[in-house]
Chain A
Amino acid sequence: SQTIHQWPATLVQPVGSPLSLECTVEGTSNPNLYWYRQAAGRGLQLLFYSVGIGQISSEVPQNLSASRPQDRQFILSSKKLLLSDSGFYLCAWSVGWSGGAKNTEAFFGQGTRLTVV
């Protein structure tokens, strides 16, 4: 079965410090990968998505970057955190196709609660 791991679960970082959040998927190959940010109790804002190794699409200009060094690894980074980077970050994957039919269901990790102080 497929699983998604996202860590750490919570993180408190000072302003100006670097950031690295990691997400890995097991049990599938060539997944679509996504990073979302969610404000408290509200909707998800798509930050980055990737359809393959080294292929990153950015949705919102910001202080963050993403990388996909391996097929099932997706990393969210920042060189210098801002207070406005605080939030709940969610990694997700989708298979794209399964059993000959398009399957767009997204499977989410448990999220990382980032607080920038």
Chain B
Amino acid sequence: TQLLEQSPQFLSIQEGENLTVYCNSSSVFSSLQWYRQEPGEGPVLLVTVVTGGEVKKLKRLTFQFGDARKDSSLHITAAQPGDTGLYLCAGVEESGGSNYKLTFGKGTLLTVNP
């Protein structure tokens, strides 16, 4: 099983600040996903990046997939208290056809203080 390392593990910032969260692996993934999870609930998909070097934007969130498809970053501009949550990256390992599995990193717990 391929491993994903996320950093930082914890991040506490003030409203309006910018931040970047990183997801790194020594292995190549066919694609990579970012999820956000709120306490007591399951994670919800934010974005999937597939192509090396790909950049996707979701309002104030910018996601980038590394050229070698081993790493990804999530940048949040002008963070708001509503951005608070656990951010998880997940790598897709394919084993042919529709067979694949998701391997999750340990997450970055973000707190945005008003």
Chain A residues near B (Cβ < 8 Å)? 32, 34, 36, 41-46, 49, 51, 57, 59, 90, 92, 94, 96-97, 102, 104-111, 113
- How many B residues have CB within 8 A of the partner chain? 27
Q: Which of B31, B43, B104 contacts A46 (CB 8 A)?
A: B104
Q: Mark B65-98, 1 if CB is under 8 A from A, else 0.
A: 0000000000000000000001010101000001
Whether A34 lies near B102 (C-beta < 8 A) is yes
Q: Which residues of A contact B105 (CB under 8 A)?
A: 43
With a cutoff of 8 Å between Cβ atoms, the chain B residues found around residue A46 in the complex are 1, 101-104
- Determine how close the nearest CB of chain B comes to the CB of A15; give it in whole angstroms: 25
Which listed residue, A45, A51, A96, A111, touches B42 by the CB 8 Å rule? A111
Residues of chain A with a CB closer than 8 A to B40's CB:
110-111, 113
**B77 CB, nearest partner CB in chain A, Å:** 25
* CB atoms of B88 and A59 under 8 A apart: no
* Contact status B42-A109, CB under 8 Å: yes
Q: Which residues of A contact B92 (CB under 8 A)?
A: 104
A74 CB → nearest B CB, Å: 14
